[in-house]
């Protein structure tokens, strides 16, 4: 790759024309920047000179592209060896820089899988994130709910354990899962290892789409048990056959000629987009998810949206062997080559015209259309609420970003602050923040002190990260849980930071603490209330309840972590596996601390060096 080429210049076609003279026909990536050096657009090109030359021409552009050109003050370029490399780099930069004029995938969470662990008696469980744990992975599933439903059904059919290895090794009698016929009880010898592993193999055949003959095999086993007068065993197999039938029926769409595909359908309307992705694995539908990428203009072409979505979506995910798309793409071969290179196997991008694959795309397209209609209706309702909020609190206009703060603790212990964010599209959960209260001078239970620390940290960081307020990170309204005291305290904090233009409202329950009788406080004004059935009042209650829910959840997580903590957590070289081995051997962290060096060396997985580290830690620090 070459080094970046940068220059400062006036905006427009002439600026771009000046850069054309410096370029050759190499493939690469270009960036367009405004006068403040903010990236407006990232694009890739097979021939940089030809691609950039098109922007230098004053005619033949959509309004969106003309606006982008008019704002361009400088450009940056990176040349690459191939166009495929340029495509991969382009999508990486778009995700990193989030340019104003690019299509942007806003929801990029990982998808859960089902994991069958490596163990003498494997467990089956939900897994999300990097595939570091040893075992066999099946997925992706569209949601945690889809995985949980599949796991529950698989447990009914194959009776596999879902307990941790520690529980499995220490249990002395069957658990509830065995009692309700969700597990075969391998922990206490209710099933032989050979029979249990047979069940595991059957489950994996089903998850791999190789379950042909499984019901027939179970029917033969049931008849054999019946012939041997083992009626209880025959009844258990009968229940498994019934559960397997229900599991197959619950899968919904089960394509016969499409063993593995991601079905990707786009619907565009009024400058908004919805992309539906259906996951087909092992000839089964493993759920679907809708996405709403930012497109920014009604003039944008479907091919550009779909291609940008696919590039960003698979930046951190493995693609299926086939992608079935709803619209023609400009560079399907290039996209397939880039995905194949990334996945290390062949990936096809297909636009099916007939047959089962076309039916799958039509189904996804119908879902995309219906999902976008619901989303637009919800956005319209949210817009009315924001307008009503602006009128009630005398704001300059409907707020685009509302921040709501709350604290949670028990007598000052495990104190946390929480911030939730809402806007025109509802709750913005990827903007939520939690604050571990650090102030040593704060009296336990001092809500004023906690709020002061939270707001000070929040706005100091905001002043540092977005001093010009161009990134959309500044709130248009602060909602504080409390009355005039809390409002005055927060105002003092903001005044100290010389922030005087952020509207703030305190929300306090009435004298009898009943929801619906909230009073609202603003600096220098009399408190007021909204009428009991005002939709704006319900909206504020939802915002406050969400902040309270998030604060309580964060507090509980912190408290649970603290309860599960032991002195072993601070010993160098002792991670989760060694900690578990030590606790199983000695029974408690206190007993580990008292153990002799020779006893520590006797624990499985604890080397002489680690044993000496543990011994020295407790005897030097104890």
CB 30 within 8 A of CB 76: yes
User: Higher model confidence: residue 328 or residue 231?
Assistant: 328
> Residues spanned by CATH 3.30.420.340 within the chain?
402-561
CB 560 within 8 A of CB 581: no
Longest C-alpha distance within the chain, in Å? 91
Closest CA to 621 of 587, 573, 572, 553: 572
Q: What is the per-residue pLDDT across 330-345, written as a single tens digit (0 to 9) for each?
A: 889 999 999 999 889 9
> Residues spanned by CATH 3.40.1440.10 within the chain?
13-97
Q: How confident is the model at residue 414 (pLDDT cuts 50, 70, 90)?
A: low
**In the predicted structure, residue 274 carries a pLDDT above the cut 80:** yes
In words, the CATH class of domain 261-373 is alpha beta
User: Higher model confidence: residue 249 or residue 526?
Assistant: 526
The CA distance from 500 to 489, in Å, is 14
Q: How confident is the model at residue 511 (pLDDT cuts 50, 70, 90)?
A: low
**What is the CATH code for 402-561?**
3.30.420.340
In words, the CATH class of domain 13-97 is alpha beta
Integer-rounded Cα radius of gyration of the chain = 30
Model pLDDT, residue 192: 92
Angstrom CA distances, 11 to 70, 113, 239, stand at 6, 49, 73
**In the predicted structure, residue 64 carries a pLDDT above the cut 70:** yes
Which CATH superfamily does the domain covering 567-621 fall into? 5' to 3' exonuclease, C-terminal subdomain (1.10.150.20)
Q: How confident is the model at residue 559 (pLDDT cuts 50, 70, 90)?
A: low
Model pLDDT, residue 407: 77
The CA distance from 208 to 223, in Å, is 27
Residue 30, CB-side half-sphere exposure with 13 Å CA sphere: 25
> Residues spanned by CATH 3.30.420.10 within the chain?
261-373
> Residues spanned by CATH 1.10.150.20 within the chain?
567-621
Question: How large a percentage of the chain has pLDDT more than 70?
Answer: 90
Model pLDDT, residue 563: 52
Q: How confident is the model at residue 510 (pLDDT cuts 50, 70, 90)?
A: low
Q: What is the per-residue pLDDT across 524-547, written as a single tens digit (0 to 9) for each?
A: 888 888 888 889 999 999 998 898
**In the predicted structure, residue 471 carries a pLDDT above the cut 80:** no
């Amino acid at each position: 790759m070459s080094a970046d080429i940068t220059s400062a210049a006036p905006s427009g076609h002439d600026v771009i024309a000046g850069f054309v003279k410096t370029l050759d026909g190499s493939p690469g990536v270009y960036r367009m920047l405004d006068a403040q050096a903010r990236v407006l657009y990232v694009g890739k090109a097979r021939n940089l000179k030809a691609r950039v030359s098109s922007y230098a021409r004053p005619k033949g552009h959509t309004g969106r592209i003309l606006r982008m050109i008019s704002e361009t003050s400088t450009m940056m370029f990176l040349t690459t060896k191939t166009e495929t490399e340029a495509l991969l780099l382009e999508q990486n930069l778009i995700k990193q820089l989030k340019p104003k004029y690019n299509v942007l995938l806003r929801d990029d969470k990982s998808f859960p899988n089902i994991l069958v662990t490596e163990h003498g008696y494997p467990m089956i469980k939900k897994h999300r994130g990097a595939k570091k744990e040893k075992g066999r992975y099946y997925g992706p599933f569209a949601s945690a709910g889809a995985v949980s439903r599949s796991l529950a059904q698989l447990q009914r059919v194959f009776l596999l354990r879902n307990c941790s290895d520690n529980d499995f090794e220490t249990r002395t009698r069957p658990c509830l899962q065995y009692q309700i016929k969700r597990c075969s009880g391998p922990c206490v010898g209710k099933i032989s290892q050979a029979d249990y592993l047979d069940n595991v193999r059957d489950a994996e055949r089903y998850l791999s789409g190789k379950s042909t003959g499984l019901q027939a095999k179970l029917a033969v086993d049931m008849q054999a048990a019946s012939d041997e007068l083992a009626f209880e065993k025959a009844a258990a197999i009968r229940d498994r056959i019934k559960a397997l039938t229900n599991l197959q029926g619950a899968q919904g769409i089960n394509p016969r000629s499409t063993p593995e595909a991601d079905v990707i359908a786009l619907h565009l309307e009024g400058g908004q987009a919805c992309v539906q992705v259906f996951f087909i694995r092992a000839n089964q539908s493993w759920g679907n998810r809708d996405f709403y990428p930012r497109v920014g203009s009604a003039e944008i072409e479907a091919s550009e949206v779909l291609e940008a979505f696919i590039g960003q979506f698979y930046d951190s995910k493995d693609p299926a062997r086939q992608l079935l798309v709803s619209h023609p793409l400009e560079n399907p071969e290039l996209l397939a080559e880039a995905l194949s290179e990334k996945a290390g196997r062949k990936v096809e991008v297909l636009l099916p015209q007939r047959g089962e694959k076309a039916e799958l795309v039509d189904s996804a397209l119908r879902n995309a259309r219906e999902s976008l209609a619901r989303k637009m209706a919800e956005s319209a309702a949210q817009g009315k609420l924001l307008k009503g909020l602006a009128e009630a609190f005398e704001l300059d206009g409907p707020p685009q970003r509302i921040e709501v703060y709350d604290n949670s603790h028990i007598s000052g212990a495990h104190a946390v602050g929480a911030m939730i964010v809402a806007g025109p599209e509802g709750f913005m959960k990827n903007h939520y923040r939690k604050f571990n209260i650090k102030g040593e001078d704060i009296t336990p239970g001092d809500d004023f002190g906690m709020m002061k620390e939270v707001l000070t940290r929040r706005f100091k960081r905001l002043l540092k990260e977005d001093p010009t307020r161009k990134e959309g990170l500044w709130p248009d309204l602060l909602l504080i849980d409390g009355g005039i005291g809390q409002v005055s305290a927060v105002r003092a904090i903001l005044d100290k930071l010389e922030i005087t233009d952020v509207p703030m409202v305190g929300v306090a329950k009435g004298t009898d603490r009943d929801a619906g009788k909230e009073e609202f406080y603003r600096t220098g004004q009399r408190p007021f209330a909204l009428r009991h059935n005002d939709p704006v009042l319900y909206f504020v209650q939802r915002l406050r309840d969400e902040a309270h829910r998030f604060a309580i959840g964060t507090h509980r997580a912190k408290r649970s972590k603290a309860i599960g903590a032991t002195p072993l957590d601070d010993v160098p070289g002792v991670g989760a596996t060694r900690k578990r081995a030590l606790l199983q051997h000695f029974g408690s962290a206190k007993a580990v601390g008292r153990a002799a060096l020779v006893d520590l060396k006797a624990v499985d997985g604890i080397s002489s060096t680690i044993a000496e580290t543990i011994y020295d830690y407790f005897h030097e620090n104890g």
